[in-house]
Structure 1
Amino acid sequence: MEDRFSAGKKVAALGIAVNILLLIFKLAAGYAAGSQAMIADGFNSLGDVFASAVTMFGSLYAAKPKDADHVWGHGKAEYIASMIIGFSMIAMAIYTISGSADSLIQQSALEFSWWLVGVAAVTIGAKACLYVFCNKKSRQYKSVLIKANAQDHRNDVFVTSGTLLAIFLSLLGLHWVDGVIGIAISCWIIYSGLLIIKDSAGVLMDTGSDAKTLEEYKDEILKIGGIDHIDSVSTKPVGAKIILIVKVSVDKNMTVIESHKIAKAIELEMMRDRPEIDDVIVHINPDLPHL
């Protein structure tokens, strides 16, 4: 798990450095040329700096070991951080929508500039590299926090491509497209933020594993001898991992020691080769007739 959180800190540090540079270039170019799309893109980079900073603090806190007050560890800090990132994206997007709307109402003209083109091209290249790096790390460590950063970088590739399109369309006199794309950029950011919030909320609200996964767990448990039937199998997320809660019925005449051996066998079997399971809680019931 140390490697997982170390990767999160590396992703965050890289994101902060790159996004600060892009923020400066985008806002300078956007205000100089009067491009609402580039200004919106610039404020998006400001949001990216904040997102990377939240990723850093989230990774640091989530890496803390278990203690008396947090017996299951601090893993959910990742999901809290991801939700903060989602809300910050939405807040920034709402702000940039107003600027783009004003541009359309006032019919502001975008002044073509190769400076704008250069900044957009550099942004697309930098963000594409960041996405590839972060996506690889998120898959390797199955981190929702790194995944949120990867999605943010991926979105920026499409967002800045739209900005670049608006810049070239201004040569045809279609200056209104700049404001429209600025609004579209903001809407895309809002949509992405909502998806991040949804994924994070699922863990924070203790959403269990899907039905297919639960059936796989049940099949494995039933292979263990001495079990009459399974009463229930459920999961509780604790950060990136889950707690497996199993209730089984055994022969009512079985001794406590024998039933304890079955419970231990279930625990060992389900923990073996299943890195997603942090702990297994087994409750043994006597096989009594249902009244």
Structure 2
Amino acid sequence: MRDERSAKAEAGAWVGIIGNLLLAVMKGIVGWYSGSKALLADAFHSASDIAGSLAVLVGIRAARIPPDKDHPYGHGKAESIAAIVVSLLLVFVGFEIARSSILAIFSGVHEAPQGYAVLAILISIIVKEAMFQYKYRLGRKLGSQALIANAWEHRSDVYSSLAALVGVGGALVGEWQHLPWLLYLDPLAGLVVAVLVLRMGYRLVIEAIHNTMDHVLHEEDSKELVDAVLSVAGVIEVDELRAREHGHYVIVDVKLSVNPRISVLEGHRIGKRVKQHLMSQFTHVSDVFIHVNPYDPGFPYKSNNHMLDDDHPTLLQ
């Protein structure tokens, strides 16, 4: 089940990489030959989405590497490290696009881009929206926050393409209607897209740094995990549950209470059932660490379980 989830998530990441690569190449070539600053900036924005998809892919593959002596909690931080490198590159690219657009504005714009730049932008908008819908639905289905976040990056690329469309279209109208001031809409749109790239780079830097540190899920986010533990036969109470994000997956530490009159072996079996239940019900849970405590609020002991046909009677029942 977990391998199937990883395979589907990896396929989704590859769709983003290949799709954005083709779009970036197309928009880059058309933008260069058409003379559109906005379309060139939009091409770099698509290239930035490649970086985001690569970070997701690194995280998915790192999750498959089993824990070792030096990395007992797995290799989920690899995604965050890759994201930091990628986001810094995005910030650099954003500054370069902004500088180029500003220079074009101050040096003067004397002609509009070629009309076929509009066709390239329209193709980009359609493809990017299709990629957003695919990856968002896949992320929801697999419970992958990394895929969902990457899908929203595709949606932001749609907005940058719309900005480029306004810039190129406005410049073309200005040339047809002999309105020179409208020619400046193309480099201005390039500047807007540059700001979007800078914003994405900054956001990725902050998120990557945040994810590199141990981040515990809030109580409302971990409530369904607590409810799942309480549903396991033999668990009387959840004393403490901490779910730590480790890259794009979660590691759960849980302290639970059981009837203190059962044997150590029975307590161990309850803990094992809790771990199996959490990892089968929540595909984003990578590992579960269990600590079993005796429940002692006074007799008789509360119990949430019912006799199972294949269980031997114990003091729990």
- Which band: TM-score by shorter chain? 0.7 to 0.9
Give the 3 Å change call, closer, same or farther, for CA 107–234 of structure 1 in structure 2. same
Q: Deviations over 1:159-189 (max 9, x none)?
A: 1111111111111331222222222212222
Aligned counterpart, 2:220: 212
Q: Alignment partner of 1:245: what SS?
A: strand
Cα distance in 2 between the residues matched to 1:16 and 1:31: 22
Equivalent residues, number = 285
Deviations 1:174-232 (A, max 9, x none): 122222222221222222333344444443211111122445555666677686x7653
Cα 1:261–1:239 change in 2 (3 A) is farther
Correspondence 1:51-62 to 2 at 5 A: 51-62=52-63
Tell me the distance in 1 between the aligned counterparts of 2:5 and 2:294: 42
Q: Are 1:232 and 2:237 counterparts?
A: no
Partner SS state of residue 186, structure 1: helix
- Secondary structure of the 1:13 match is helix
Q: Which residue of 1 aligns with 2:150?
A: 149
Q: Flag the 1:4–1:98 CA change in 2: closer, same or farther, 3 A.
A: farther
What is the CA distance between 1:87 and its match in structure 2?
3.3
Letter in 1 for 2:148: K
1:175 is the counterpart of 2:179: no
Deviating more after overlay: 259-268 vs 69-78: 259-268
Provide closer, same or farther for how the CA distance between residues 110 and 79 of structure 1 changes in structure 2, counting only shifts above 3 A.
farther
The CA distance in 2 between the partners of 1:128 and 1:216, in whole Å, is: 32
Counterpart amino acid of 1:212?
Answer: E
Alignment check: 8 A CA contact 2:59 2:79 kept: yes
Q: Do residues 11 (structure 1) and 12 (structure 2) align?
A: yes
| Aligned residue number for residue 265 of structure 1 | 270
1:102 paired with 2:103, answer yes
Specify the alignment match of 1:241 in structure 2. Answer: 249
The correspondence of residues 166-205 of structure 1 with structure 2, limited to 5 A, is 166-170=167-171, 171-172=173-174, 173=179, 174-205=182-213
After alignment, is 18-27 or 161-170 more displaced? Answer: 18-27
Q: Is the 8 A contact 2:60 2:248 kept in 1?
A: no
**Post-superposition CA distance 1:105-148 (Å, at most 9, x none):** 22324414221111111111221222222222222223344334
Match of 1:29 in 2: 30
Question: Does the Cα contact within 8 Å between 1:155 and 1:189 map onto a contact in 2?
Answer: no
Report the secondary structure of 1:232's partner residue: strand
Unpaired runs of at least 5, structure 1: none
The 10-residue stretch of structure 1 (275-284 or 108-117) with the greater mean CA deviation from structure 2: 275-284
TM-score by length of 2: 0.74
CA distance in 2, matches of 1:147, 1:225: 36
TM-score w.r.t. structure 1 length? Answer: 0.79
Report the aligned-residue RMSD.
Answer: 3.3
Query: Is this contact kept in 2: 1:37–1:179, CA < 8 A?
Result: yes
Q: Does the aligned pair in 1 maintain the 2:235–2:270 contact within 8 Å?
A: no
Which ranges in structure 2 are unaligned for 5 or more consecutive residues? 297-317
Q: How does 1:122-133 map to 2 (within 5 A)?
A: 122-133=123-134
Question: Is 1:20 aligned with 2:54?
Answer: no
Counterpart code for 1:268: R
Work out the CA distance in 1 between the residues paired with 2:256 and 2:83: 36
Give yes or no for the alignment of 1:92 onto 2:100.
Answer: no
The alpha carbon displacement at 1:56 in A equals 4.0
SS at match of 1:128: helix
CA contact (8 A) 2:62 2:78 kept: yes
CA distance in 2, matches of 1:242, 1:19: 29
Question: What letter is aligned with 2:157?
Answer: D
Label 1:137 to 1:220 Cα distance change in 2 as closer, same or farther (>3 A).
closer
Q: Which amino acid aligns with 2:34?
A: A
* Contact 2:58/2:79, CA 8 A, preserved across alignment: no
Structure 2 CA distance for aligned equivalents of residues 200 and 132 of structure 1 = 24
Contact 2:78–2:247, Cα closer than 8 Å, also in 1:
yes
8 Å CA contact 2:254–2:289 kept in 1: the answer is yes
Paired with 1:202 and 1:184, the residues of 2 have a C-alpha distance of 27
Give the structure with higher Rg (CA). Answer: 2
